Amino acid sequence: MIITEKDFDSLSNTMMQWAGYDWEVQADRFTSEIGFQWGWAYWFNDAVSMILAKNFLIQREVAFDVTYDEAVDNYLIVTDYVTSDMVVA
This prediction has a pTM of 0.91
63: containing domain: 5-82
Q: Strands 14-17, 64-69: parallel, antiparallel or unpaired by DSSP?
A: unpaired
Q: pLDDT tens-digit profile of 43-78?
A: 999 999 999 999 999 999 999 999 999 999 999 999
Largest CA distance in the chain: 38
Number of domains in the chain: 1
Q: pLDDT tens-digit profile of 18-42?
A: 999 999 999 999 999 999 999 999 9
Contacts of 63 (CB under 8 A, 6+ apart): 57, 79, 80
The answer to whether residue 49 sits within a structural domain is yes
Q: CB-hemisphere CA count at 13 Å for 47?
A: 0
Run of H or E residues at 58:
helix 47-59
The answer to whether residue 43 sits within a structural domain is yes
